[in-house]
């Protein structure tokens, strides 16, 4: 419980300290969410629907702020963290699952996902939820119909997240090829199977209706909006570049190294330890998930974050292997087990603390990453309380401010206001305006964000 409260506190606090600005992807996501309505849902606007609904609710209640944009990811991140603990606890002892989960949920890529106001976190959330529900069905002689019902419902909703159709096919193929799982499915009660099939048929029916109204969602679900087959291997190279960049930084939205060297070493130990008894379901699934991650990264380089799931399983295997080897040296000595606590505490402290510091300071001060996050919204909320705000780009996003503030957002100078704030440096402004103040951000470059002007009253007007 203490660890749970600490995790929740860090997940809520750290994004506001590290990723204080908004990336262009977050701006696009918030704009899409706010435009969501019952009519365009019926017209087939179903991509990442649960996430966008939650994001719209967050913006409606909290206003347009960086925290409101990021809140859905924080919520899904909290649930995902506990799902990882539950999933690993199904396959490993409690001590192993708890240690592995702590390393994963406090790692840089996980904290980034939980602090990024985009649906990217759903790419890890749905598979983790489905694997945990699947383990609850697999691990019981007579599984409860409720778990089968929730599993079918989760798979139904997940297919509207990009690449989850591939994951659904991956699950079916894995069950058919795995002798143990194939036997379990054959032995399942008829009611759960019928419920699962009905939900899957219903889900694909809804998907078919959505495709009929909006055929353009097909490449979004299966590939990406701007996918080019010629760049498949280039996407893999770009996606995995931050994973192995331990001695230099790579420009992009991900802070490199994406996976620290000690965690990578633990995962590598875990991978080798799974070669013995590879055909056990929990051993083979991590390796197959790595292959799945490689394929979807070829479609979209940002999909490399899916690596969090197979890595968490391999890290648990690595910790299990190390503990077994240590205890195997002293099978009859209780003092050896107690003395192992000290090096374990030191080891995990040297992994977790530098990871937290890297995340906290890297997203603020690493120039290759920090420049991708804009402070414009925070500066507007702090300094522009009323009047008119002229925007050069992202007009639909800033237009949301009109709902909860006294700001009138415009992108044309056809009419003048007593107070005019320009988001960016105005060009070719006539003599009817006088510069009053310039508001800046903490960024090194392009720090002048808002130019505040007042209208000059001319004689005779």
Looking at residue 128, its pLDDT comes to: 92
Looking at residue 5, its pLDDT comes to: 81
CB 421 within 8 A of CB 384: yes
Looking at residue 76, its pLDDT comes to: 93
Looking at residue 56, its pLDDT comes to: 92
Q: Which residues of the chain have pLDDT under 50?
A: 459-461
Sign of torsion, CA 217 218 224 225?
A: negative
Contacts for 401 with CB less than 8 Å, ≥ 6 apart: 64, 380, 389, 407, 409
Q: Residue 400 and residue 394: Cα distance in Å, rounded? A: 11
Q: Residue 447 and residue 299: Cα distance in Å, rounded? A: 35
Contacts for 214 with CB less than 8 Å, ≥ 6 apart: 43, 44, 45
Q: Residue 69 and residue 116: Cα distance in Å, rounded? A: 8
Listed by start position, the domains of the chain span 2-370, 376-455
For the stretch 54-103, pLDDT in tens is: 999 999 998 888 899 999 999 999 999 889 988 888 888 888 888 888 88
For the stretch 286-297, pLDDT in tens is: 888 888 888 888
Q: Residue 410 and residue 421: Cα distance in Å, rounded? A: 10
Looking at residue 184, its pLDDT comes to: 66
CB 89 within 8 A of CB 67: no
């Amino acid at each position: 419980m203490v660890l749970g409260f600490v995790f929740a506190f860090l997940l809520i606090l750290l994004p506001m300290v590290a990723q204080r600005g908004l990336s262009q992807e977050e701006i696009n996501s918030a704009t899409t969410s706010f435009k969501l309505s019952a009519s365009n849902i019926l017209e087939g606007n179903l991509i990442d629907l649960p996430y966008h609904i939650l994001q719209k609710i967050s913006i409606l209640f909290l206003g347009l702020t960086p925290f409101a944009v990021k809140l859905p990811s924080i919520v899904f991140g909290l649930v995902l963290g506990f799902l990882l603990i539950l999933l690993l606890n199904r396959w490993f002892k409690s001590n192993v699952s708890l240690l592995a989960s702590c390393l994963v949920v406090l790692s840089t890529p996980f904290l980034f996902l939980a602090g990024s106001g985009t649906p990217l976190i759903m790419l890890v959330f749905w598979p983790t939820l489905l694997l945990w529900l699947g383990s609850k069905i697999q691990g019981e002689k007579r599984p409860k119909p409720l778990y089968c019902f929730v599993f079918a419902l989760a798979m139904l909703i997940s297919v509207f997240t990009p690449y989850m159709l591939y994951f659904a096919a991956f699950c079916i193929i894995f069950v058919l090829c795995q002798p143990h799982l194939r036997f379990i499915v054959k032995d399942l009660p008829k009611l759960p199977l019928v419920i699962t099939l009905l939900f899957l048929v219903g889900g694909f029916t809804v998907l078919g209706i959505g495709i009929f109204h909006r055929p353009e969602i097909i490449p979004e679900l299966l590939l990406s909006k701007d996918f080019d087959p010629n760049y498949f291997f280039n996407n893999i190279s770009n996606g995995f570049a931050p994973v192995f960049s331990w001695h230099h930084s790579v420009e992009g939205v991900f802070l490199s190294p994406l996976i620290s060297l000690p965690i990578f070493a633990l995962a590598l130990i875990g991978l080798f330890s799974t070669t013995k008894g590879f055909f056990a379901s929990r051993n083979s699934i991590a390796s197959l998930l790595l292959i799945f991650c490689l394929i979807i990264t070829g479609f979209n380089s940002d999909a490399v974050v899916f690596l969090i799931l197979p890595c968490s399983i391999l890290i648990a295997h690595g910790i299990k292997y190390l503990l077994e080897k240590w205890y195997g040296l002293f099978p009859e000595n209780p003092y050896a087990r107690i003395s192992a606590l000290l090096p374990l505490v030191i080891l995990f402290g040297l992994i977790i603390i530098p990871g937290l510091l890297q995340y906290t300071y890297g997203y603020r001060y690493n120039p290759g990453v920090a420049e991708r996050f804009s402070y414009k919204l925070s500066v507007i909320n702090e300094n522009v309380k009323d009047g008119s705000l002229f925007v050069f780009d992202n007009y639909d996003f800033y237009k949301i401010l009109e709902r909860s503030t006294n700001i009138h957002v415009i992108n044309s100078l056809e009419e003048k206001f007593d107070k005019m704030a320009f988001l960016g440096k105005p060009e070719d402004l006539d003599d009817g305006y006088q510069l009053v103040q310039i508001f800046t951000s903490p960024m090194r470059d392009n720090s002048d964000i808002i130019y505040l002007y007042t209208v000059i009253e001319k004689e005779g007007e």
